[in-house]
Amino acid sequence: MRRIVETAVLCLMAGAPALWAEDQTPQPEATTALTERVSAEAQDFMVAAAHPLAAEAGYDILEAGGSAADAAVAVQMVLNLVEPQSSGIGGGAFLLYGDAALGRLTSFDGRETAPAAAGPDYWLTPEGEPMDFFAAVPGGKSVGVPGTLALMKMVHERYGKLPWATLFEPAIAMAEEGFPVSQRLAASIAEAEGLASFPGARALFFHEDGTPLQEGETLRNPDFARTLRLIAADGIGPFYHGAIARDIVAAVKTETNPGVMTLEDLAGYRVIERDPVCMEYRSWEVCGMGPPSSGALTVGQMLGILSHWDLPAMGEGVPATHLFLEAANLAFADRGLYMADSDFVDMPEGLLDPDYLAGRAELIDPEHAMGEATAGEPPWDEAALRAPGLAAPEHGTSHFVIVDAGGDVVSATTTIEQGFGSQVVTNGFLLNNELTDFSFVAEEDGKPVANRVEPGKRPRSSMAPTVVLEEGVPVLLVGSPGGSRIIPYVAQALVGILDFGLDPQEAVDRPHVLSRNGPADIEEGPEAQAMADALAGLGHETKIRDLNSGLHAIAITPEGLIGAADKRREGEALGQ
């Protein structure tokens, strides 16, 4: 039986919990009506994901004895169907897997790659100017070679217990029988400019008369059911080498913004297993996804800087918020200059060096905002300073977390980039627009931009799937969508839970106050103006706005599992 019950206040205690073996946007993600939430509690296993049907699919797999890897596959396939605007097999993902038997945490990089024919001028107009970001998003040119399906296959081969085909059954049934369009999906369709001009998307998300599907109407996706049946039976071959690959290559040749992806690009796609990037923070180790994501490094820098203050003693409030904003500004300055796909560009080794971060912390005046931060000079043999590039707004992503009955854990962020990605549909799924995560310019003043487009390279991401370890054992899983705001969303949840002792749901629900080395964004709400006034008093430029995180978290405590789902979205935490 599925259980969601009220929770006690979380206390992350030292010692190994029993569960770990001995050792502004034109294509926005619509917001849901905010309803109060309480954490979910469970003893044996838990899943938290951005849609109740996805969480239920994961729950059923875990209840049937499946591993966290099995549940991840089922959750991802259902998310592709019911939250199609955010993630799916046409996109990319990063997944952290904690193997309880081996006591080992691994990160899997299923990020999209640039086609072989994409070069540094990819996002320049014939006149040599960077393309307008939102003009670049729709159509095949923005589509990177998708990695999510290959990632799911690798994780299942490594850690799966149930047969691959079984994991597709929930999504196939729902795709054939149909499911009710949620409030957020309906709003996302209605608000997605230009979506109906793509025939595949029009057939899927609109009535014949061109009006968008409404909340509660039934959406059937027989093409996706057929795709899933093929993949369930034949594996990922048809997607990367066969009939679906051919359809993807044909689909990206759109009239406007035609793409250059080839069959060879798809056949050459590789998931990369990488060591997670971990940062010591007080008594914890906070681990996440390294390059090509900037997630773990930027979150890690923020925490490394904040560790110079006794936040638990300060408690929540304006002084701690000020420090949080300044730490974010400093970390984002380094992110902008240095971080990119390190398989293609040299990056400083010392971005998380404690001495370097101590120096960065000294730049913070607790009484006054520093304004725009400049990047530091971390220990690095090759001091070839870079240009920061042209950052674009980013918004279509989902985060899920899973703990199985054997103590294996998953923290995964999965994306097609903007809401509805490139808007190109083939075989019942949307293709990503991840190539717009590259810098639109390759150099500035003769200096190279680290995140420039290069053939086969992976665009810099902000996705920050996180696993917190205590004495080597996972005690907290967290992550969020939100473009580059993912980084402060995750950092704020970590500080809330680890430093301020908040229950995961309380931490997730806290109004966001964040910065990305620009104005302080303050989440609209009853306390927003007072916070804005107080921060303005410290010299911050402030902006009150809607902040659409999608945090999902599970705390693993000696007393059991405590899960949280962001009230700003539609998700759910379910466990037993």
Q: Which is nearer to ligand DON, 140 or 560 (CB)?
A: 140
Q: Any contact of residue 462 with ligand DON (CB under 6 A)?
A: yes
397 noted as active-site residue:
yes
User: Among residues 341, 404, 393, 378, which one has the least CA distance to residue 133?
Assistant: 393
Cβ atoms within 10 A of the Cβ of 11, count? 11
Beta strands at 542-545 and 520-523: parallel, antiparallel or unpaired? parallel
Which CB sits closer to ligand DON, 257 or 397? Answer: 397
> In the bound complex, what is the minimum distance in angstroms from residue 465's beta carbon to ligand DON?
11
Question: Cβ–Cβ contacts within 10 Å for residue 479, how many?
Answer: 32
Q: Which stretch binds ligand DON (CB under 6 A): 3-11, 253-261, 478-486, 560-568?
A: 478-486
Binding test (CB under 6 A) with ligand DON, winner from 84, 482, 560, 571: 482
Nearest distance from C-beta of residue 101 to ligand DON, angstroms: 31
Q: Is 70 in the site for ligand DON (CB under 6 A)?
A: no
d(CA 360, CA 17): 35
Asked if 521 touches ligand DON (CB under 6 A), the answer is: no
The yes or no reply on residue 396 touching ligand DON (CB under 6 A) is: yes
Can you tell me whether residue 105 is helix, strand or coil? strand
Could you tell me the smallest distance in angstroms from the CB atom of residue 430 to ligand DON?
Answer: 13
The residue range among 61-69, 126-134, 181-189, 391-399 that interacts with ligand DON, by the rule CB under 6 A, is 391-399
Give the residue with the Cβ less far from ligand DON, 32 or 461: 461
Using CA atoms, how far apart are residues 31 and 288, in angstroms rounded to an integer?
A: 27
421 binds ligand DON (CB under 6 A): no
**Residue 252 near residue 424, CB atoms below 8 Å:** yes
Residue 108 phi/psi, 5-degree rounding, is -115, 130
Residue 461 near ligand DON by CB under 6 A? yes
Q: Does 486 bind ligand DON (CB under 6 A)?
A: yes
Which residue among 7, 321, 397, 492 contacts ligand DON (CB under 6 A)?
397
Side chain identity, residue 182: S
Among 417, 499, 506, 570, binds ligand DON (CB under 6 A): 417
Q: Do you find a cis peptide bond into 292, omega within 30 degrees of 0?
A: yes
463 touching ligand DON, by CB under 6 A = yes
Q: How far is the CB of 11 from ligand DON (least distance, A)?
A: 31
483 binds ligand DON (CB under 6 A): yes
Find all residues with CB under 8 Å of 308, minimum gap 6, and list them: 358, 361
Count of residues that interact with ligand DON, criterion CB under 6 A? 16
Edge to edge, what strands does the sheet with 513-514 contain? 513-514, 520-523, 542-545
- Report which secondary-structure segment, H or E, holds 378: none
Question: DSSP state, 113?
Answer: B
Candidates 113, 329, 415, 451; binder of ligand DON (CB under 6 A) is 415
Which span (260-268, 339-347, 449-457, 460-468) binds ligand DON, by CB under 6 A?
Answer: 460-468
Rounded CA separation 106/187 (Å) = 37
Residues 16-55 that bind ligand DON (CB under 6 A): 29
Count other C-beta atoms under 10 Å from residue 355's C-beta. Answer: 10
Q: How far apart are CA 289 and CA 46, in angstroms?
A: 22
290 binds ligand DON (CB under 6 A): no
Nearest approach, Cβ of 156 to ligand DON (angstroms)? 23
Q: Pick from 56, 265, 437, 523: which binds ligand DON (CB under 6 A)?
A: 437
Asked whether the beta carbons of 277 and 339 are under 8 A apart, the reply is no
Q: Quick one: DSSP state of residue 381? A: S
31, 397, 466, 557: the catalytic one is 397
- Of 517, 571, 567, 570, whose CA–CA distance to 547 is shortest? 567
The number of residues in the chain equals: 576
Q: Considering the complex, state which of residue 322 and residue 335 has its C-beta at the smaller distance from ligand DON.
A: 335
Decide if residue 523 touches ligand DON (CB under 6 A): no
CB of 414 to ligand DON, least distance (A): 10
| Interior angle at CA 489, CA 387 and CA 544, nearest 5 | 90
Q: Site residues (CB under 6 A) for ligand DON?
A: 29, 394-397, 415, 417, 434, 437, 461-463, 481-483, 486
Which residues are part of the catalytic machinery? 397
